[in-house]
Structures are given as C-alpha cells and as structure tokens.
Amino acid sequence: MKQKDGGGMEKRIVVSNAIHNNIYVAAPNRVGKEDATNGSGYMTFYGTSFVADPWGEIVSDAQTIEDEIILAEIDLHEKSTFLLFSIPIVFHIT
C-alpha cells in the first residue's frame, strides 16, 4: 500500500544511496500544496527532509506539519576512515 506521509519507499531509496556510496546524503523536501500546472488538481508535499549518514542512520530529520530548517553535525573523518579500512575490496585497491 502506498504511504501518503512521504516516509515510504522514497526515504528508503535515499538512505540506501548513502550506504551504497559511503557518503552523507541530505534529502530536502518542502511542505504544503501547489496547484497542478494543467489545472487538474494539486500536488501535496509532505516535508520529512532528512540527513542520512554512511551507515544509513538518520542524523537529523524534519516534521511534516510546517516548514522548518534542520541542522546536522557530521564528522567526515570518523565514519569514512572506518568504512574505508573495513571494506576489504576498498582496502586492497588503495
């Protein structure tokens, strides 16, 4: 069943990209409704912006009720160094 809160498949895809690429990912989205350009109704934006770390953990996230700014403190050295030497294929290439 399709979720209508913006926290379904899209969020899992972005988190999996953070894990797969060993990077932090910021996924912004807005909140509210906008009329469709062809006059056929409107589009709903559910917010739920977030930042995911290379392990797939959500470092910071926003709500779905109103606009908000989120901040995330990240340590680029800590996780990337650990991951670089903990993945055998990467270790052997370097």
pTM above 0.75, yes or no: no
Tokens matching residue 16:
């999996």
pLDDT by position in tens, the chain (length 94): 344 555 578 889 999 998 888 888 999 888 888 888 887 888 888 888 999 988 899 999 988 778 888 899 887 776 555 555 555 555 455 4
Q: List C-alpha distances in Å: 62 to 57, 72, 87.
A: 14, 11, 32
